[in-house]
Every structure is written in structure tokens, then in C-alpha cells.
Amino acid sequence: MLQIDLWKRILIWGTVALGLLLALPNAYYSRVEGYNDQVAVGQPGEGWVDWLPSNLVNLGLDLRGGAHLLAEVKVEDVYASRMKGLWPEIRNRLRQERDVVGTIRLQDGPEDELRIRISNADAISQAVSIVREISRPIVSLTGAGQNDIEVTNEGPVLIVRLSEAERLATDDRTVRQSLEIIRRRIDEVGTREPTIQRQGSDRILIQVPGVESASELKDIIGTTAQLTFQPVIRRTTDDQTVAGPGNSLLPSMDEEGQFYVLEDTPVVTGEELVDAQPSFDQNGRPAVSFRFNPAGARKFGDYTANNIGNPFAIVLDNEVISAPVIQSHIAGGSGIITGNFSVEESTNLAVLLRAGALPAGLDFLEERTIGPELGADSIQAGKIACIVAGIAVLFFMWASYGLFGLFANIALILNVGMIFGLLSVIGATLTLPGIAGIVLTIGMAVDANVLVFERIREEMKSAKGPARAIELGYERALSAIVDANITTFIVAVILFVLGSGPVRGFSVTLGIGILTSVFTAIWVTRLLIVTWFERARPKTIEV
């Protein structure tokens, strides 16, 4: 018998109602004046009932515009950090040969090189050979066969700097790493489908849809977020204090006029963090809790065990957040960063630390708000084309299948509404390729109904009555519909995993459209036909 249980009917209509309810904010705010100028993209503004769903489908750069930044990576910053990282190893190597080279002392000089004076000038050639032993071959196509450092001397002074080939390789790695970290930071705060591209040798183009102010992006992207834990030598109020070789003078973030002389070589760095979350300290003030990986936890624990009673500075981007005195051995590799934070600042800091530190600073050469790439005329033409195509499909179904075609048209309209509801829930960004995915979904949904109706026509020639023909038509067309949609869904998943930008936008709408079209074609259209059949009780049907 042609029937659908009451609980199934409730479930079907409930699912449809939920999908339309989730899509409702888009229909409402698309008619509100100034909607396209809202700053809070993805959330409706005033005039919306609080208890109703409020997520909107974000519009992409090609439909709505957004913020534009052109950043230049200061690759020279990495040279200095590489030199600081080499100093402890060079110092240890030379100390092992102190009987030969004499005493060693680090001298002031350019940040991108180390200048080391030895007391036994006659042993300078031996010292050069010792330091050259720590050089490593460059792993790159352009620098194959060359070493990463150059070691020369001026009298009794050793000069260590990066080789030219290593500088080129370092520049490339730095820009690539900056690209990845910027992408992770933008994804972390929920923005969808940004355009992040490398331009030239050291520049990065960043375009994010729906962000009205470039300063919002700079607050997240522009912070280097280099976290280090460094030993404190002394505290001072004199900003002219000479820190001495191997040390640095850094200001306090919260205490104006306070400075700290710190050892340059950190005990632990932010690169060894595995997690950072906003939290509150014992006094209820916003803070950030963190956790190190096993290597970082071991170094952190060993240092705190050996330096109880000594201050320990937590440094973020060359500012001392705090310098607490170590009270006891801190095992487990976890701790908390306290400071004069607001809740928003602690949340942003946790985002930055989780995403990782930028390897170098950024100079923003351009910052502006951009309009839709396609222009208002092109967008309007696209809307008209979609409407005309939709009307043509609806007319074709009605003309070809009569009343059954009308049922399919109703399900098709509900299908489109449910697609927008799901896009709103996941916070997806709708671009022109995404609209193409929706249009393709409409055709596929119609195709499923065509398979069912044609099968019903075949069954009418042999089945006993219209009820049996409808039942067999849905049962025997089901396998063809499912098989066709599963293969297409697999393609959509592959496009999402391997693609980026517009390709991902297309795959998201296509994948969601496949799920909703199968649901509406198999269940909603069938429920409409069954409901009509129960009321009309026709002796025969025309499909």
C-alpha cells in the first residue's frame, strides 16, 4: 500500500521547517536597507528577534567585497634570530678548545652576524676551523652543495654570518611559513575563503570577504606573537642601561618606566607550545593558559627546578608581560600567562599563540576596503539569469508531468531554501562558483524527479492500479538516484580536500545540494504525492 507513517511525516516536515527557519534571516535581511554595509558579517543586526536563528550566509569577495592588505615580510629579522640561536653552540665548541684559543668574548656588531674575539690571536685559524665544523649543507635546489654559514676573521675576531645561498633559502622558507600562519590565524577567527597569495619574493596579498576595516585584520595578522621565556639578569628604570653582549634590554608591557635586562638565549620558545587557551587567574582576571610539548616541558621543568628564587621573564614580541619569581619546580609543562588583559585581548593572544609565531615582522604597504570584483551590474545580471533559468525549469516540469511536476516544483523550491539554511549554519561564504554549484544542484534535483516519474509511467502499463505504480516507481528508481548522487558527492569531497578558494566554494554548495536534493526528491515529493492521493483517491493518474 502507498502510505507513510505519521512519525515519518512529522520528521520530514520538521526537517523542512528547520531548514527554512535557518534560511529565514537571509530572506529578511536581503530586503533591509543597508544590509550590505553591515559590519558584523554573518550576524543580523537590529530588528531581528533574538530567539530566532541569526546566522547569515557570508558573501564572498566577488559578490560583496572585503578588506585588502598587501604585506611585506621583513625577512632580515630571521637572520638576527638565526645568529642568536647559533651563539650557544659556537660558545660551547670554543670553550672545549680554550687551551688553544684562549678566552672568548662576544662583541657588539651588526645583528645579522656574530663577532667573537679570542685572546690567543695566533690560534685564529684553528678557531675558524672549529666554528666551520658546525656548518650544515643547505637543503634546497638553489643552494645544493653549499653550507649555511660563512666563517671569516679580522685579526683575532671571528665573523660568522649566513651564506648568500642560505639567505635566499631562508627568505623563501620565511615567506612560505608566514603564508601558512596567516592562513591559520584567519581560519581560527572563523573567516571563510580568504584570498592569501604570495606576490613577488617577499610580499603577501591578503583579501578577506565581509571585513569592513583593514585594522581588524591587522590586529590578528600583524602581531608577530613571538613568545619566549628568558632568564632575568636585573631590573632597572633606566632606559639607557647597557645590556652588554648576549643580553638585551626590554620594556615591561604593564609597568611604564620599568625595564629588564635579559639573556638573549631563551630557555623555552613559543614554537614548543602545543596549546593555548583563554582562561582566568586565581583572582578572576583574564589570562592565557598554555601547555608545552614534551621537549619544552622538560626544559621548562629543569630550569624551574634549578632556579628557585630567581625571576623568570615571559616575553611577547620584545615586551615583558611579567617576570614572576620561581617559587617551586614547575613540572608537567603547563602554566598560565597573567597580565593586564581584557577578555578579548586574552582570547586574541591565545589565537595567536595556537596559530604559531610569525617568523618575521610584517610591513603593511597597502590597506583598503575593496568592492565586489564583478560589479553591481554583473551581480544583477547573474540574479536575472538564475531567476530566468529557475522559471524555465519549473515550467518544463509542469508542462511535462502536470500535477506531479507541480509537486516536484514545490519540493525544488524547498530544496533551495534548505541549502541556504545549511550554508548559514556552517557559516559558509557564497561566491559566484558557489552559486554555480546551487544551479547545478537544481538540475540534479529535477533529474531525480524525472527518473521517478518516468519509472511511474512504465509501471502504469503493468502495475495493478495507480497506488502500486507510484510505490514501485519510487522503489525501483531509488537505486539509480542514490548511485548517481553518491558518485557526485565523492567528487565534491575530493574538490573540497584538494581545492582552495573558489573551487572549495563550489564543492561546498554542490555537496550540501546533493544531500538536500536527495532528501526532497525521495521524501518531500513522495509525501506530497501520497497526501494528494489519500485525499483525491483517483482511479487513474497521468504523469
Nearest to 264 by CA among 304, 223, 306, 318: 318
Between CA 189 and CA 195 the distance in angstroms is 15
Q: Which residues of the chain have pLDDT under 70?
A: 1-2, 28-52, 54, 139-145, 187-193, 210, 212, 220, 222-225, 339, 348, 351-357, 370-379, 382, 463, 500-501, 543
Per this entry, what is the length of the chain? 543
What pLDDT is stored for residue 15 in this prediction?
Answer: 92
CB distance 365 to 351 below 8 Å: no
HSE (side-chain half, CA atoms, 13 Å) at 290? 32
The answer for residues whose C-beta is within 8 angstroms of residue 379's C-beta and 6 or more apart is 63, 372
How buried is 510 (Cβ within 10 angstroms: 0-12 exposed, 13-18 middle, 19+ buried)? buried
Between CA 135 and CA 160 the distance in angstroms is 10
Residue type, 131: V
Between CA 422 and CA 513 the distance in angstroms is 9
What pLDDT is stored for residue 24 in this prediction?
Answer: 83
Q: What is the pTM of this model?
A: 0.57
Phi and psi torsions of 371, nearest 5°: -90, 175
Between CA 96 and CA 89 the distance in angstroms is 11
CB distance 510 to 423 below 8 Å: no
What pLDDT is stored for residue 32 in this prediction?
Answer: 47
SS3 298: helix
Nearest to 127 by CA among 162, 146, 101, 109: 101
